[in-house]
Amino acid sequence: MRAIRRFTVRPVLPAALAPVLELVTNLRWSWDPATQDVFAAMDPDAWEAAAHDPVKLLGALSAERLDELAADPEFLASLAATHADLGEYLRGDRWYQKLPADGGERPRAIAYFSPEYGITSVLPQYSGGLGILAGDHLKTASDLGIPIVGVGLLYRHGYFRQSLSREGWQQETYPVLDPDGLPITPLREADGSHAQISLAVPGDQPLLARIWVAQVGRVPLLLLDSDVEANPLPLREVTDRLYGGTAEHRLRQELLLGVGGVRALRAWSRITGAPEPEVFHTNEGHAGFLGLERIRELSVAEGGPHLDFAAALEVSRAGTVFTTHTPVPAGIDRFPRELIAQYFGANSPVPGIDVEDVLALGAEDYDGGDPGVFNMAVMGFRLAQRANGVSELHGHVSRDMFNGLWSAFDADEVPIASITNGVHAPTWVAREVFELAARLGADVSSTGDGEVGDQVWSVVDKVPADELWATKRALRSRLVDDARGRLRRSWERRGAAPAELGWIDSALDPDVLTIGFARRVPSYKRLTLMLRDPERLKRILLHPDRPVQLVIAGKAHPADDGGKALIQEIVRFADDAAVRHRIVFLPNYDIAMAQPLYPGCDVWLNNPLRPYEACGTSGMKAALNGALNLSILDGWWDEWYDGDNGWAIPSADGIADEHARDDIEANALYDLIENEVAPRFYDTDASGVPVRWIEMVRHTLKSLGPKVLSTRMLRDYVERLYVPAAGSAHAINSSFAGARDLAAFKQRVRAGWNEVRIDHVESSGVSETPAVGGALDLRVFVSLGALAPDDVTVEVVHGRVKGEDHLRDIRVTPLALAESYEGGRHRFEGHLVLDRPGAFGYTVRVLPRHPGLVSVAELGLVTLA
């Protein structure tokens, strides 16, 4: 019999156990082993049965067991110590609070918007890498003391649970999540009512959403939930599931995330007294509408400063950071212009803002753009003064991909920076790895700087090879046990009888070279590249002396039948009785699966179609657990592969035939496994230790460890983006005169730029045989029309010449105003020392100049000689 409604009844704890509730509702437990040990001590069997979900654990404990714990002095002492440690963690000064005062204006609060967050498997509000990154971002901000407030949506069904049919086809189910059964709490008004926000949408009723809070260490995460009884059914379902539904459904979700998210932040500050955010960080374009709500607050909202649209835009842009994650146009949300016009028309969520101003922000009004769509990434760039990609290579790809927004500039000067992603070590590094370092005297606790200390990396060479090897075997053995359990449950769901499944008891082997491959399954990640030559793969898996085993996982988007077909292809291969003990596909890839998977692998495989992997952090997590990467030089691996910390799969860039390219790269993959990876793994000394393999593991830990940490990533965000953004916001927001001045400057320059030209360039001083140390004197005559010399910068751009007069290794030298003439004509002069040998070239350009601009390309205007 099926229940018509379900809800979670939380237990009433004895007074002595009151601290347990704070431990449960602060998600720091998900990366703090001591807190997990407290939960396990309450009932080890129940903790395992609850899949390490403390809310479920409490619901499973009897009143008698709770009373026993309340009378157990040993447990109470452990509980008190852990609770006190949490209190110190929450209140003590950390890295951010210790920053020197001369490091710039530190923002008092930073708002971080993301459509998904992967913090723990018991809060399933994520689909893949974007969400995992967002979760690591919040955890690391907490460890470093960075005052971030997260904003997201609470999806009633999460993403989906994946299972397989008997034929190996992906099947999706959407279990209902009860908020009361999750480690979150409602944000309440002073009268005890559940705080909620409202925004107008087409129709007779507004969209209402309640605000829930997930406490991620020191960082609050505000989650908006539209399942409110006062909403009509279509609006109740806005937060039904992640990345599902029609274009209109997605638009409603993104309006709620962006516009509603800002309103949730205002409610949070009003209710709790928390400072208002000074910097707004948009993690991908889904939350881009937050900029429109901030413009509304500044321009037309009651009690606001009532700036005009242009000035309000400058205020909003100054404090906004936009991170793009996609390396392919297909990964960007694009809506029909007519749909945007409908939603921002008569019943707009940001009333008072002209619909044409909204449409202009997302318009693809550049060569090659589609005039019929509204592009969320384009709007993200136009509403943020600072933007970045998520690896050095992705930065290059993004500058090329979005060059149309700054078409007058070479891609190298497009204002998109790069901050390479990192991963949260306390979440992803196996406890055994930290314990091994601790036994050798390293302090593996998170310090007041929120960092696993340098001691961890310094002891790598001190770990005896046999101990390091034994630790990896133990982790491999744990993975094998976990995989066998998942494999059995998968086959049972596929309809297999118990009598058919005896082979699972010997599937995989803790002494066999283990390669992991787990990620989302779009076509460019090439799940099935390893199957280009099935017979050769079989020989690799079944080699009599150097066998290999593969553990594979990944979800295809529910609407992606192509991705599902790839999964079915790999599953059918893995079902073959000849190899099924050496290759497994584990359904429902999530954080709970990943945590034993990364440490248990010896090699992490990544073979995307280059350069379509923006970053790819799974290999970072594996590396921190002593695995070696075997990857195409894409994403972060292109940046940090050094020839000794793993293997680079040669890529066949430039080959147009995708089948030929796949054949070439698959053969390169097979060659590496057969000739380098497996021989090194099985090359053991008299005690059974592969000494040369261990050397590579040590080098991986030392060379990659400090780089791939999310503490490095967050410090980069603070120093390169957050602090500068706060400085720009403070400078432009004082009485808003700066915003009005910058907006007027941009309007004046755009109106007059068609009159700007370089009339004549004179050079002198260069001898007939130029040599290093020689000089070049330049006199440049410029017509500025109605613009003044102070409105522009005149520069000589110089460097080495490549090919047909193309400049590279560019340097820029500004020229000084020497004299002004009638008719808006001016002469600029400069002196250039020739300090490099080789082919030399230069040109001259004129750019807009204003102290409020942070990039020479910000306006997209330049005049070249």
Q: Could you report the per-residue pLDDT of 432-447, keeping only the tens digit for each?
A: 999 998 888 777 665 4
Contact 321, 388 (CB under 8 A): yes
| Mean pLDDT within 727-747 | 92
Say which residues have a Cβ less than 8 Å from residue 487's Cβ, sequence separation at least 6.
504, 507, 584, 586
Q: What one-character DSSP code corresponds to residue 552?
A: E
For residues 92 and 532, give the distance between their C-alpha atoms in angstroms, rounded to a whole number. Answer: 55
- State the pairing for strand pair 207-216/320-323: unpaired
For residues 851 and 226, give the distance between their C-alpha atoms in angstroms, rounded to a whole number. Answer: 43
Q: Which structure tokens are listed for 420?
A: 């390479």
C-beta pairs of 175-178 under 8 Å, 24+ apart in sequence: 176/6, 177/124, 178/6, 178/7, 178/8
Q: Please determine, for residue 450, whether its predicted confidence score (pLDDT) is greater than 60.
A: no
Q: For residue 307, which of 730, 859, 738, 725 has the smallest C-alpha distance?
A: 738
Q: Please identify which residue in the block is written with the tokens 């933007």.
A: 387
For residues 131 and 55, give the distance between their C-alpha atoms in angstroms, rounded to a whole number. Answer: 22
pLDDT in tens, 196-236: 999 999 999 999 999 999 999 999 999 999 999 999 999 99
Contact 479, 551 (CB under 8 A): yes
pLDDT in tens, 77-91: 999 999 999 999 999
Q: Name the least confident of 387-391, 636-640, 762-766, 770-774.
A: 770-774
Contact 214, 221 (CB under 8 A): yes
Q: Which structure tokens are listed for 425?
A: 């070590």
Contact 287, 737 (CB under 8 A): no
Amino acid at 10: R
For residues 373 and 366, give the distance between their C-alpha atoms in angstroms, rounded to a whole number. Answer: 12
Max mean pLDDT range (274-278, 734-738, 765-769): 274-278
Q: CB atoms < 10 A from the CB of 499, how many?
A: 6
Q: Is 460 helix (H, G, I), strand (E, B) or coil?
A: helix
| Mean of per-residue pLDDT scores for the chain | 94
pLDDT in tens, 638-683: 999 999 999 999 999 888 899 999 999 999 999 999 999 999 999 9
pLDDT in tens, 244-288: 889 999 999 999 999 999 999 999 999 999 999 999 999 999 999
Q: According to the model, what pLDDT value does residue 8 have?
A: 62
- State the pairing for strand pair 775-783/170-173: unpaired
Q: How confident is the model at residue 454 (pLDDT cuts 50, 70, 90)?
A: low
Q: According to the model, what pLDDT value does residue 1 have?
A: 62
pLDDT in tens, 456-477: 777 898 999 999 999 999 999 9
pLDDT in tens, 329-348: 888 999 999 999 999 998 99
For residues 93 and 78, give the distance between their C-alpha atoms in angstroms, rounded to a whole number. Answer: 24
Q: For residue 279, which of 245, 316, 244, 308 has the smallest C-alpha distance?
A: 316
Amino acid at 191: D
Q: How confident is the model at residue 6 (pLDDT cuts 50, 70, 90)?
A: low
For residues 724 and 728, give the distance between their C-alpha atoms in angstroms, rounded to a whole number. Answer: 6
Q: According to the model, what pLDDT value does residue 4 have?
A: 56
Q: According to the model, what pLDDT value does residue 838 have?
A: 82
- State the pairing for strand pair 583-586/548-553: parallel
Q: According to the model, what pLDDT value does residue 7 have?
A: 60
End-to-end CA distance of the chain: 80
Q: Please identify which residue in the block is written with the tokens 């790069």.
A: 418
Helix residue spans in 118-239 (DSSP H): 129-144, 233-236
For residues 427 and 86, give the distance between their C-alpha atoms in angstroms, rounded to a whole number. Answer: 17
> What are phi and psi for residue 761, nearest 5 degrees?
-125, 125
Q: According to the model, what pLDDT value does residue 103 have?
A: 72
Q: CB atoms < 10 A from the CB of 564, how many?
A: 21
For residues 313 and 361, give the distance between their C-alpha atoms in angstroms, rounded to a whole number. Answer: 11
For residues 398 and 380, give the distance between their C-alpha atoms in angstroms, rounded to a whole number. Answer: 13
Contact 407, 368 (CB under 8 A): no
pLDDT in tens, 675-694: 999 999 999 999 999 999 99
pLDDT > 70: what percent of the chain? Answer: 97
Q: Please determine, for residue 455, whether its predicted confidence score (pLDDT) is greater than 70.
A: no
Q: What is the dihedral of CA 455, 723, 214, 594, to 10 degrees?
A: -50
- State the pairing for strand pair 207-216/219-225: antiparallel
Q: According to the model, what pLDDT value does residue 453 have?
A: 55
Q: According to the model, what pLDDT value does residue 160 have?
A: 94
- Go through 429-448 and write b for each residue having 16 or more CB atoms within 10 A of its CB, e for each that does not: bbeebbebbeeeebebebeb
Q: Please identify which residue in the block is written with the tokens 């803790």.
A: 510
Q: According to the model, what pLDDT value does residue 798 have?
A: 92
| Mean pLDDT within 594-611 | 97
Q: According to the model, what pLDDT value does residue 803 have?
A: 73
Q: CB atoms < 10 A from the CB of 74, how many?
A: 8
Rg of the chain taking only CA atoms, in angstroms: 29
| Mean pLDDT within 412-439 | 94
Specify whether the backbone of 139 is left (phi greater than 0), alpha (psi in -120 to 50) or beta: alpha
Q: Which structure tokens are listed for 180?
A: 């009361």
pLDDT in tens, 488-546: 999 999 999 999 999 999 999 999 999 999 999 999 999 999 999 999 999 999 999 99
For residues 639 and 733, give the distance between their C-alpha atoms in angstroms, rounded to a whole number. Answer: 38
For residues 491 and 493, give the distance between their C-alpha atoms in angstroms, rounded to a whole number. Answer: 5
Q: How confident is the model at residue 9 (pLDDT cuts 50, 70, 90)?
A: low
Say which residues have a Cβ less than 8 Å from residue 577's Cβ, sequence separation at least 6.
503
- State the pairing for strand pair 603-606/628-632: parallel
Handedness of CA 750, 405, 378, 859 (dihedral sign): negative
Helix and strand numbers, DSSP H then E, in the chain: 31, 28
